[in-house]
Structure 1
Amino acid sequence: MFGVFEDPDNPGEDKCLPDTYVGPGKKDTQVQLVISLALGLSAFFSFCTLRPRWKSLYAARKRHSDPFLGLPALPDTFFGWMPALYRITDKQVLASAGLDAYVFLAFFKMSMRLFAVMFFLAAVVLEPINHHFLSNTDSTHHFLEDPTTPGDDDGDGDGSFDRAKGYLWSYLIFTYFFTCLTLYFLDRETTKVIRVRQDYLGTQSTVTDRTFRLSGIPKDLRTETAIKHLVQRLEIGRVESVTLCRDWKGLDALMEDRKKVLDKLEVAWSLYLAHRPEQPVGGLPRTRSNGSNAGSGPGDAPVDADEEAGESDRLLRGDQSPVPGRRRPQLRFWYGFLRLQSRKTDAIDYYTEKLLQMDEKIHAARRKTHEPADLAFVTMDSIAACQMAIQALIDPHPGRLLTKPAPAPSDVVWKNTYAPRLTRRIQSWTITIFVTILSIVWLAPVAFLASVLSICTINEFLPTFGEWLKEHEIARALVQTGLPTLVVSLLNIAVPYLYDYLSQHQGMISQGDIALSVISKNFFFTFFNIFLIFTVFGAVTSILDVLRNSLKDTTYIAYTLARKITDLSVFYTNFIMLQGLGLFPFRLLEFGSVAQYPLLRAAARTPRDRANLVQPPMFHYGFYLPTALLVFILCLVYSALPDGYLVLGLGLAYFSLGYFTYKYQLLYAMDQPQHATGGAWRMICYRVVLGLAVCHVTMSGYLALRKAFTVALLVAPLFIATLWFAWNFRERVEPLTRFISLRSIQGGAGESAIDDDGDAVAGGALLRRGSTVDEDREKGLRFVNPSLVQPLEQPWLYQDAPPPLVESDIDDIPGLSQDLGGNSSAVHSPPAGGGYETPPLLRGADTASNASSTVSLGDTHVWRE
């Protein structure tokens, strides 16, 4: 059993290697295969059974999206949905799910093709060579010795030209070939992604594509008119509108407080109406007339209002006319000196009156002139003008008038737009430092969990249990490799939620940037803590030893990496097996949502809560892409090593199952609102290059441990060429993943972009019904803080949502759709499907008389030509 060896000083006694936790064995892989298939098949059959019966979950996006998306309806038969899903083409994915989904699935499709070729060559050509030369030797015994003194018993000479070691040249050849193959597939897919991206963005015309973000605005230019004149003097195009961000902190806080009050009011009404028959109305009238009880339910008797009562007395006033046989919910209110006195008041009346007061405060805050910030969104009349502004330097002073692409209006994190730049930088650096410290802290639990579950540790602390495990091979396999694999997989699931929370507080301007940041943080965790700690370091106690020895010998890490990679081959094989065969069907089943639904359904007390239960869940790329990148790197590292064809075969199964799982979720089950315009692809490319570099270091160390120093040295040119590819990608390709070329805007749409099964599709065919999914999503939107125009909702008490109340004095908001002359130009007709009635600005009973005034969401607080 690997992980123990016979102590030469005490024959017959086993002595544990101090940093060996997981040992290989055929039984371990067999047990893991049975477990993975049992988990995966049970989840898959459960999904096939529940899918036609629970369409509110498994077809949530299809049910809530535009009926003209063009997606085919999947058959309700047990397996009939799979061929229909397979036949959905790339252009349908692009048209219905957007550019980010297309790029994400393109990575999985590229990986399937690449590893299919590599698996075939490794199994047909490389594995027979290994079988011939290594069949009578233990391929792992070489790595049990100290890597500082590697070698066989044939001295310190170079064995590269030893006939017995001639098979090592095949490792070098296949390392070169697999590297070139990877770079070829990556370059070909990158070219395709860029063409699709340029055609997709160049042929659409959303407000996002015509808007750029201007930061570092000096104080003398912080007006809409000054910014407009500044940009138009550049003679790159006509400015259509300018949205200068202002200090809306107080207004945003009021909106948050109002939402909390509204939730409490809805809960109070739900408790009161729990056993009453539903009324055929969508909401309740909210007025302050002296002859009615504000917020009282149907059938309640009027309450005489005390005209001389103050605000606090109205809040404390209890229910004067309870419905016979039913007690209205009560709220205990603490007041007086040190809040030692209390009394009960009617909860519905209290929260209704408080909601009215919040509406008045929001009304006043919306008409208040707020301090301008150093950031603005400038919308040009064309995409070309916007791109010229983005790709140019406007001001000769560092840090002033910086231009960047604007996020979609719905993706803007408005609370960060008016935060000072220094504050955002402090937030960013604080989170970065915290993540770095956290990555070091993770070393302890990761190594501890691995060591606790090792046979060596069990023999030391629980010798009886260790002896029992030696006698029961299946139980040993479960403890030694099954449990560590499960622990690592659970960490991969849990840790992304923490990093997502941290990224939300890093001061970024858009949700798209946050999504890319989550990808970066989670990949760093999976690569550094799971890959490096399990391989190079092995244990917390050996980290300092590794670093100290690396300073003495620069090849020490290469030797250690090669030795540990071979030692952990079974662990990583089982890891890929569990992730692909075992957990992908559970993701398809959405096991978390299924398990939480009864609890969430029981906790849903209001109609709004119950309506939120059927909304499509969000697809977070940062939760899924880092693990896929780690599996990709593992496949590259093991590709040319002995038994590498097993890892490649499991990698092929992983990416095949992942492609169809995520394709179904992105198209039918889950929503992904971020507007990152395919920015994840450049992150994918750099991580693939990192994987190739690790592969080269590992192979060089592997060959050096076999005393083939010349062969090991010949890996160096390949390592340098890979780094050159990364540098060339940064200079030549990366700008095209961030910006839109002017040629694509003017006439690139006619170039072939997507080729499904050999059929070329013109760029114009990427569009559906003359618009893209992003154009449909952004129809009627403008760059404006939602707190300025968001409808103030009525309490949602019955099955149908109530209509928003109407705001009457839109023209009073400073800067509302003003032209050069300062005349207001509020829009009074919302676009079809995208308009909202404005919120109530309650100043008494005058709202009812102005019920016909409406405004399009987003058409406010901007300067427009």
Structure 2
Amino acid sequence: MDLFFEDADNPGHRKNKTCTDRDFTQPGSTDTTVQLVISLLLGVSAFFAFCALRPKWKTLYAARKRRFDPSSGVPALPDTFFGWIPALYRVTEQQVLASAGLDAFVFLAFFKMSIRLFGIMFLFAAVVLEPINMHFIDNDKKHRDTDSYMSSVFRTPQSMPFQSGGSAPWTLEDDGPDKDPDRSFDKAMGYLWSYLVFTYFFSMLTMYFMDKETRRVIRVRQDYLGTQLTITDRTFRLSGIPKDLRTEENIKDLVEKLEIGKVESVTLCRNWKELDKLVEERQALLIKLEETWSVYLKQKTVHNPAAYGGNRTNHSRQDHSQDVADEEAGETGPLITGPSTGQLVERRRPQTRIWYGFLNLQSRTTDAVDYYEEKLRRLDEKIREARKRSYDAADLAFVTMDSIAACQMAIQALIDPRPGQLLTKPAPAPSDVVWANTYSSRFQRNTRAWSITIFVAILTVIWLIPVAFLASSLSLCTIKKFFPSFASSLSRHEITRALIQTGLPTAVVSLLNAAVPYLYDYLSYYQGMLSRGDVALSVISKVFFFTFFNFFLVFTLFGTASEIWSVLRESFKDTTTIASTMAAKIQNLSVFYLNFIMLQGLGLFPFRLLEFGSVAMYPIYRMGAKTPRDHAQMVEPPVFTYAFYLPTALLVFILCLVYSVLPGGYLVLLLGVVFFTLGYFTYKYQLLYAMDQPQHATGGAWRIICYRIMLGLVVFQLTMSGVLALKFAYFQATGVLPLLIGTLWYAYEFRHRFEPLTRFISLRSIKRNETGEDPGADAILDEDFSGDEDVAERLRRGSTVDEDREKGLRFVNPSLVVP
């Protein structure tokens, strides 16, 4: 199939271009200016809309702040148009930790570290590397046109279709096989030594920043957890309990015989499936009854004196008024309140249809209020009876000790010599427990975990089909095949063509990145994990795997789905194939990834700040709200889910590393700094003022962040080794190998030295006794926090957000105690 494209040698003339299979799936590769304009239009409009709506819509944009403790230390933001920005900037890390907790602190620490790291890398790339590239890469040989250098450095090689003019300033074809096969010490190729040097420098700089930030996160985490006294900090999870020990008394005796401390309480999980099902049915029935009452009381009333002698006085004497949502109203409060009229009124009773008889083929209508009230009464009786029964014990228990030190000694020790029995792990917060999974056997939980993991892996591979289809359907080759006249029109209009090939692919990838986490979040809750914090960390890993595999490896390493097996087959013959293939193709996608970072940073972060989804859905929810419960839920803060945002940030981090040394990499680094700066302020505002984060993973996301950074370093080093090899600089390419080995060794050391401190509390970090006495001035280290003594003192007194959240809670299935 032929397609016209601009001839670089004769501007204004077009010549034929035959589309290959690869051309069908390569993303667009034209002007970044179009993407910049699109991103700025989206971002600026959303930002100004947020600044205008923020002071007027505090139920959404200050939902968390409105119901938060005033003593939390988080300052109120001014209602001026831009005044909230400097006020938000002045909110310290101490205040973030005190009001939002460890998970928010760790999340924002990653963004701050990335800003500092890529800021330094940008300076070196722009001041040192880019002049070297501009000097050594021959302009005449590369046929540079009159476009700006920003556009030219990111043009794809001539093998790519739909080029607007000229070729890339640096292609992998500039050194052909007719040259010296080894040009490692060729003076004309001396600039490649700078690539080797900066590969080492940027890798070591990344590891230095990560190591320094890891030590700081660990210090803060240890001091934060060591200065508070919650029931979670004193409780450990005991699994693999033998059948002869499955009673509260036996477990208590077993733990106390270890002589590590006294047991305060034991919650042995039992098979509460029947009870949980009844409580779940009751909740659904209660919502139906509330909706029925609300519909009944909203009807227009008619005065009827004859109703005084009727038999429905209890219903007709209900007070009525315009429904006003009461955020504090609980289940036992009145559904709708209002002044009493002192008169009886008539309303049309709501009806419902019930089915009965053989195969439920018969039906009749009945009074809905009476029907649901009677069903609720009978269900309450069943629940009361169910709570009195005894249930079979599971192999899991929550053991609460009298001190944090005793709990940590139990967690970090091996209790039983038999494999798989009496295993100890930190307990989640009581409100974080997924009780439906506690009474499943360990074998069932493992089976579900492996099944979901395998299914997610298969699903990730299946995603190749829609990703390849969407990418190919947005290429001019495909458009030419199905819509030749439209393709010809696009080839004549530069801006329209850029919109199709540049804007749409990045928009499609961004939409998939936003949609897939919802599916993986749904699947992870059925994986058998015992806490919502573990589920949140699992979703982060799954979504990152999807993002990294489909939008990095497939596009760069394989190019198309059809090339996967050929690349893998060649890699078995020659282990350098993967590095060479990645290096050869990664530059072809420079425009795509540059536009992707630009859209994510400049375009979509303001939309996240605006909470566009909540704004768009609010009128729909408002129309559908019937009961005070519905209205109260509308003003509750949205849930901040880290898995929806962290994987994309990690992918951008890896992209910045990979392109940092390549020609034009300073632009990627500059956009990386912009991305993480805007992300830091966006998420800081949402975590402190607008959104809730109910899961409590005690900063466990930092482990995921560090391992993904090390994965990015490996990809970066393999790419640079491949680039050097393709330039026939074999000595420099081999020189990357020690750095790769050093990175893998650092990952091994990280697992043994740092990871345990991100899971447990060291005994020396426990600075307060059970009576809650002041642990001393060294609780929150001055090297981490300085200048905010009030917040530090507040943390020392133990009023952390986690302690406030867990006041009065205990490890008990809510189905046993809920009113």
Matches within 5 A, 1:280-429: 296-298=315-317, 325-429=346-450
Q: CA deviation at 1:564?
A: 1.3
Q: Are residues 65 and 135 of structure 1, via their aligned partners in 2, closer, same or farther at CA, if it must alter by over 3 Å?
A: farther
Q: Are residues 246 and 756 of structure 1, via their aligned partners in 2, closer, same or farther at CA, if it must alter by over 3 Å?
A: closer
In 2, the alpha carbon distance for the partners of 1:705 and 1:252 equals 63
Alpha carbons 1:213, 1:406 under 8 Å: kept: yes
Q: Are residues 767 and 758 of structure 1, via their aligned partners in 2, closer, same or farther at CA, if it must alter by over 3 Å?
A: closer
Q: CA deviation at 1:752?
A: 5.5
Equivalent residue letter for 2:195: Y
Match of 1:155 among 164, 179, 191: 179
In 1, the alpha carbon distance for the partners of 2:28 and 2:503 equals 12
Equivalent residue letter for 2:92: T
Structure 2 equivalent of residue 183 of structure 1: 207
Alpha carbons 2:271, 2:393 under 8 Å: kept: yes
The answer to whether the aligner puts 1:778 opposite 2:806 as a matched pair is yes
Structure 1: which 4+ aligned runs deviate by more than 6 Å? 1-6, 139-143, 147-150, 291-295, 760-763
Match of 2:654 among 633, 645, 649: 633
Structure 2 equivalent of residue 671 of structure 1: 692
Q: CA deviation at 1:488?
A: 0.2
C-alpha distance after superposition, 1:83-135 (max 9, x if no partner)? 00000000000000000000000000000000110111111111111111125
Alpha carbons 1:377, 1:406 under 8 Å: kept: yes
Q: CA deviation at 1:164?
A: 1.1
In 1, the alpha carbon distance for the partners of 2:735 and 2:313 equals 84
Q: CA deviation at 1:144?
A: 4.5
Identity of aligned residues (%): 67
In 1, the alpha carbon distance for the partners of 2:3 and 2:440 equals 57
SS of residue in 2 equivalent to 1:213 = strand
In 1, the alpha carbon distance for the partners of 2:784 and 2:239 equals 42
Structure 1 equivalent of residue 817 of structure 2: 789
In 1, the alpha carbon distance for the partners of 2:221 and 2:669 equals 30
Matches within 5 A, 1:551-700: 551-700=572-721
Q: CA deviation at 1:220?
A: 0.7
Alpha carbons 2:96, 2:688 under 8 Å: kept: yes
Structure 2 equivalent of residue 124 of structure 1: 127
In 2, the alpha carbon distance for the partners of 1:299 and 1:31 equals 62
Structure 2 equivalent of residue 31 of structure 1: 34
SS of residue in 2 equivalent to 1:240 = strand
Matches within 5 A, 1:490-509: 490-509=511-530
Structure 1 equivalent of residue 241 of structure 2: 217
C-alpha distance after superposition, 1:592-611 (max 9, x if no partner)? 00001001111111111111
Match of 2:275 among 215, 227, 251: 251
In 1, the alpha carbon distance for the partners of 2:687 and 2:316 equals 43
Match of 1:198 among 195, 213, 222: 222
In 1, the alpha carbon distance for the partners of 2:737 and 2:480 equals 42
Q: CA deviation at 1:460?
A: 3.7
Q: CA deviation at 1:23?
A: 6.3
More displaced, 147-156 or 399-408?
147-156
In 2, the alpha carbon distance for the partners of 1:640 and 1:380 equals 54
Alpha carbons 1:753, 1:763 under 8 Å: kept: no
Match of 2:538 among 513, 517, 523: 517
Structure 2 equivalent of residue 42 of structure 1: 45
Alpha carbons 1:536, 1:561 under 8 Å: kept: yes
In 1, the alpha carbon distance for the partners of 2:468 and 2:279 equals 46
- Size of the aligned set, in residue pairs, is 752
Structure 2 equivalent of residue 228 of structure 1: 252
Equivalent residue letter for 1:191: R
Match of 1:716 among 731, 734, 737: 737
C-alpha distance after superposition, 1:399-450 (max 9, x if no partner)? 1000000000000000100111121111111101110110111011111111
Equivalent residue letter for 1:44: F
SS of residue in 2 equivalent to 1:714 = helix
Alpha carbons 2:93, 2:785 under 8 Å: kept: no
SS of residue in 1 equivalent to 2:414 = coil
Q: CA deviation at 1:260?
A: 1.0
C-alpha distance after superposition, 1:802-855 (max 9, x if no partner)? xxxxxxxxxxxxxxxxxxxxxxxxxxxxxxxxxxxxxxxxxxxxxxxxxxxxxx
Matches within 5 A, 1:799-814: none
Structure 1 equivalent of residue 77 of structure 2: 74
More displaced, 206-215 or 161-170?
161-170
Q: CA deviation at 1:539?
A: 1.4
The answer to whether the aligner puts 1:451 opposite 2:472 as a matched pair is yes
In 2, the alpha carbon distance for the partners of 1:41 and 1:108 equals 22
Alpha carbons 1:390, 1:405 under 8 Å: kept: yes
SS of residue in 2 equivalent to 1:602 = helix
Equivalent residue letter for 1:684: I
Q: Are residues 206 and 324 of structure 1, via their aligned partners in 2, closer, same or farther at CA, if it must alter by over 3 Å?
A: closer
In 2, the alpha carbon distance for the partners of 1:451 and 1:394 equals 57
In 2, the alpha carbon distance for the partners of 1:383 and 1:294 equals 58
SS of residue in 2 equivalent to 1:567 = coil
In 2, the alpha carbon distance for the partners of 1:691 and 1:456 equals 33
Q: Are residues 761 and 651 of structure 1, via their aligned partners in 2, closer, same or farther at CA, if it must alter by over 3 Å?
A: farther
Q: CA deviation at 1:454?
A: 1.5
Alpha carbons 1:199, 1:749 under 8 Å: kept: no
In 1, the alpha carbon distance for the partners of 2:231 and 2:313 equals 42
Q: Are residues 376 and 3 of structure 1, via their aligned partners in 2, closer, same or farther at CA, if it must alter by over 3 Å?
A: farther
Q: Are residues 49 and 762 of structure 1, via their aligned partners in 2, closer, same or farther at CA, if it must alter by over 3 Å?
A: closer
Q: CA deviation at 1:469?
A: 1.8
Q: Are residues 761 and 754 of structure 1, via their aligned partners in 2, closer, same or farther at CA, if it must alter by over 3 Å?
A: farther
Q: Are residues 44 and 12 of structure 1, via their aligned partners in 2, closer, same or farther at CA, if it must alter by over 3 Å?
A: closer
Q: CA deviation at 1:240?
A: 0.7
In 1, the alpha carbon distance for the partners of 2:502 and 2:462 equals 24
In 1, the alpha carbon distance for the partners of 2:563 and 2:591 equals 22
Matches within 5 A, 1:511-550: 511-550=532-571
In 1, the alpha carbon distance for the partners of 2:401 and 2:137 equals 67
| Highest RCO, 1 vs 2 (Cα 8 Å, sep ≥ 6) | 2
Q: Are residues 24 and 166 of structure 1, via their aligned partners in 2, closer, same or farther at CA, if it must alter by over 3 Å?
A: farther
Q: CA deviation at 1:18?
A: 2.3
In 2, the alpha carbon distance for the partners of 1:141 and 1:606 equals 58
SS of residue in 1 equivalent to 2:72 = coil
Q: Are residues 154 and 161 of structure 1, via their aligned partners in 2, closer, same or farther at CA, if it must alter by over 3 Å?
A: farther
Structure 1 equivalent of residue 149 of structure 2: none
Alpha carbons 1:247, 1:370 under 8 Å: kept: yes
Alpha carbons 1:3, 1:455 under 8 Å: kept: no
Equivalent residue letter for 1:446: V
The answer to whether the aligner puts 1:466 opposite 2:490 as a matched pair is no
SS of residue in 1 equivalent to 2:424 = strand
- Could you list the runs of 5+ residues in structure 1 that have no partner in the other structure? 279-290, 301-321, 792-865
Q: CA deviation at 1:335?
A: 1.7
More displaced, 621-630 or 541-550?
541-550
TM-score (norm 2): 0.88
